[in-house]
Amino acid sequence: MDNNCYYLDDLFLSCMCKRYLVLPGTKILMLVGKELFSRIRRRIDDDDIPRICRFLADHPKVVAANLAYNRITDNGMPHLISFLETNRSLLELNLMCNNIGEDGVIRLAELKNSTILKSLRLNGNKIGCKGLKSLAMMLSVNQSLKHLDIGETDLNIESLVYFTTVLRTTNKDLQSINLNRILGPPSHALQTDAVAELLQQTLIVNKTLTELHLQKIGFDGHDMEILVEGLKKNSTLLSLDLSCNNIGDLGMEFIADFLGGKPPLATLRLSSNNIGDTGARTFSFKFPYSKIIYLDISKNRITETGVLDILNCLKKEHLVK
C-alpha cells in the first residue's frame, strides 16, 4: 500500500472531520495544507481528489470541505466538478491558495446552476481574466451561491466589469463577495477612480449584498468620495472591509459623513490606511450616530490623542469592539 492511500483512507479522513458550528449536526472536513504537512509530511494533490470526493459522497453529514493551502491544480478539477454536479450535501468549499488556474475555473463555471454550493473560496489562485469572466457568467444564472471569495486571483478592471454588471442586473442571491487586490493593466497603474465608480453604481442598485471586501486596491480619499455616494444609497450592506488602502484623513471625512446618515453598517475595517489624528477626530463627530459594533483602525498614524477622540465620543448602548 502506498503512503498516499494509507494516509487518506476513510479512517484518516473521518478523523479530519470537525463539528461544523454553522449547521448543527453536521461536520466539516479539514484538510488544510499546513496542518496536513505537520501530520503526514505532505499536502493534498490532484491524485487525492477522487478519494476525497468518494468520502464526501459516502458521508452526507460532511457539508463543508476546507482544502486550502494544498497543491490542487487544473488537473484535479474535473473529478471535483463531477462530484459537485451530482452532490446534494456539500454546501461550502474552500480552495484558497492552491494552484488552480484559468482552465480549472472555466470548467467549474460550467456547473452554472447545477451545484448547491453556498460558499466558494478561491482566494490566492491565479485564475486570470478569462476564468473570472466565466465565474461571473456562472453567477448570472446560479441561485444557490451566497458567499464568493475571489480576492488575490488576478482580478482586473475588465473582469470586475463582468461581476459588477451581474450584481446590478441578474444575480439576486449573492450576499458576500471578496474583491481584494484588483490589478491594473500590465505596466500601468490601476485607475482606482474607475473601480470606485463601478462599485458605486453596483451599491446603488444591488439589494442583496451584506458583506464587501475591498482590500489592497489603492483607494485614496477622492475615491472614497465616489464610493460613499453609492454607500449612502445602499440599505443592505452590514460589513465593509477597506483595509490596506490609502484613504487617509480625507477619506475618513467622507466615511464620517456617510456614517452620520445612520446606515445599517455594523462592521467597518479601516486598518493600514494612512489615517492620522485629524481623520480620527473628524470620524469621532459622526461615529456616535452610526450602528457600528466592530471597528478596526489599527496600523494607522493615529496617536493616543486620536484614539481618545474616538473613545470619548462613544455613547452607545451596545459594546463596540
**What pLDDT is stored for residue 321 in this prediction?**
63
Residues 287, 272, single domain; the answer is: yes
Residues 18, 139, single domain; the answer is: yes
pTM reported for the whole predicted model = 0.95
Residues 198, 60, single domain; the answer is: no
**What pLDDT is stored for residue 317 in this prediction?**
54
**What pLDDT is stored for residue 61 in this prediction?**
97
Query: What CATH number is given to the structural domain containing 195?
Result: 3.80.10.10
**What pLDDT is stored for residue 8 in this prediction?**
87
**What pLDDT is stored for residue 2 in this prediction?**
47
The answer to whether position 4 is within a domain reads no
Q: What is the mean pLDDT of each run of 10 residues along the chain (321 residues)?
A: 62 96 95 94 95 97 98 97 95 98 96 94 97 97 97 97 98 98 93 98 98 99 98 98 98 98 98 98 95 96 95 69 63
Grid cell listed for 193: 477612480
Residues 180, 255, single domain; the answer is: no
Residues 201, 178, single domain; the answer is: no
| Burial class, 236, CB count within 10 angstroms (exposed 0-12 / middle 13-18 / buried 19+) | middle
**What pLDDT is stored for residue 5 in this prediction?**
47
**What pLDDT is stored for residue 1 in this prediction?**
40
**What pLDDT is stored for residue 187 in this prediction?**
85
Final residue of a structural domain among 184, 214, 242: 184
